[in-house]
Amino acid sequence: MARNGNQTVSVRELALEAMLSIIEKEENASVVIKETLVKYQYLPKEDRAFFKRLTQGTLEHLLELDYLINQVSKTKVKKMKPVIRNILRLGAYQLKYMDAVPDRAACNEAVNLAVKKGFSGLRGFVNGVMRSLARGFLDGSVALMEPDSKSLDWLSIRYSMPMWLCERCTRQYGIEMTETFFQSFLAESYTTLHISQSKIKVDAYEKLLLEAKKNSPYLSGLQVKKAAYLAEQAVRIKGYDLLEDLPGYEEGMFWVQDESSMLAVAAACIKPGQTVVDVCAAPGGKSLLACEYAGKNGLVHSFDVSEAKVERLNENKERMNFLMMTPKVRDARRAVPHEELACADVVIADVPCSGLGVIGKKADIRYKIKPESIRSLITLQREILSNAMTYVKPGGILLFSTCTINKEENEANVEWILKQGGFSLQPDQVCYLTKLGFLPEPWQEEQMKKGYLTLIPGINDCDGFFFACFRRE
């Protein structure tokens, strides 16, 4: 508990409200968590860290927690009232994964929360389920099924992945590789910062971070390590609340961009003075890196579909002081204006996708994406790619990318692009990444020789990602 004037704020209640927004109302988890941290930034850092871990951890283990609760409850999770099932999920996560929380405290707080939310009549039910879980975890009577490398049921519950997704991933990658990347999604993730080379070098910025850790109460838990790839351009961090707390934020010393995305843009081989079009640019990492490569004499057109997304692009442009960047609202499905046909040396088409490669950072994706929505996404992707291709000059480059590992959105779209005619894959550009220190697996080496690359979490130390480079003939 923490106080704000005369108001008492329960961190567990904040986590419950976040869960109701994310799971029941299907709001974006990253947005909900960030907005809560901003609204309650006066809370002690221990309380903010507790809220963040409890919410994110419960999301990551949701199906597993439901499976465990169902072992001790006559009323199954799906039939419970939304408030009650999410109170129990949060409580079960504390019992199983938060050793610093005494079982008694987790049980009592769950009951108190049910009463506070107007469910006094169910206090006995909540108390009974929580205490049964606590006893069951202690004596082993409540547990997951035995590991079975051939069982998709086990895979689904152990890694909290919907069954349809287990089926699709094992069909495309085999059960061993699927478990490898599912397992990686449960590991605590770092945020990668791309350091603006014109403002400060990576080593110097690392020193700033460590100095800030000593002096700022908001950054006392900060952890810093070298980037997995392109370490001369980036650094990894975790243990912070808000990017705005980091040194150099206002001065434009960095932007957030995973190494997987950096590798994709590096493969496009953007040269100083070139014109780049980024057709689905928000939140802006690829456009910003394109600005660095194109330099002050280059031009980077950054388009996205909504005012809100373009406002975010403009904020990043102004913070970084990248005058060569021109954000504009434009629907990537609409035909390209005649005067802009064949205008770009490089076109970046990072199309909307299922996001299955970034589940480790966005745990709620797995519960929201459905097979039918993937089919709709593929249609949208091809509409966008059709237009994106028309921006490319003869001899220019089309960089197609997604943050998914689903082959239907990746390799199948590569084949689709080739069938449209006028574009050919460029293996040399993708193989250029080995000169930057990227060491591919043998199967990735074969992909790169064709002109594309799939990055797999748990195999590659980065987000799941796919990209292909094409040249317009």
339-379 per-position pLDDT tens digit: 999 999 999 999 999 999 999 999 999 999 999 999 999 99
Q: Are 353 and 410 in contact (CB under 8 A)?
A: no
Residue type for 109, please?
E
- Which of 89, 81, 31 is closest to 58 using CA atoms? 89
- Which of 100, 108, 104, 117 is closest to 54 using CA atoms? 100
CA gap 67, 71 in Å, rounded? 7
pLDDT at residue number 146: 86
DSSP assignment of 56-124: HHHHHTHHHHHHHHHHH-SS-GGGS-HHHHHHHHHHHHHHHH-TTS-HHHHHHHHHHHHHHTT-GGGHH
398's tokens: 């089309």
pLDDT at residue number 284: 96
pLDDT at residue number 342: 95
Residue 90 dihedral angles phi and psi, to the nearest 5°: -60, -40
Axis-axis angle for helices 285-294, 307-320 (nearest 10): 40
pLDDT at residue number 8: 59
The pTM of the full predicted model, rounded to 2 decimals, is 0.93
Residue 138 dihedral angles phi and psi, to the nearest 5°: -70, -45
pLDDT at residue number 147: 82
Q: Which residues of the chain have pLDDT under 70?
A: 1-8, 149
Q: Are 133 and 91 in contact (CB under 8 A)?
A: yes
- Which of 243, 267, 214, 196 is closest to 429 using CA atoms? 267
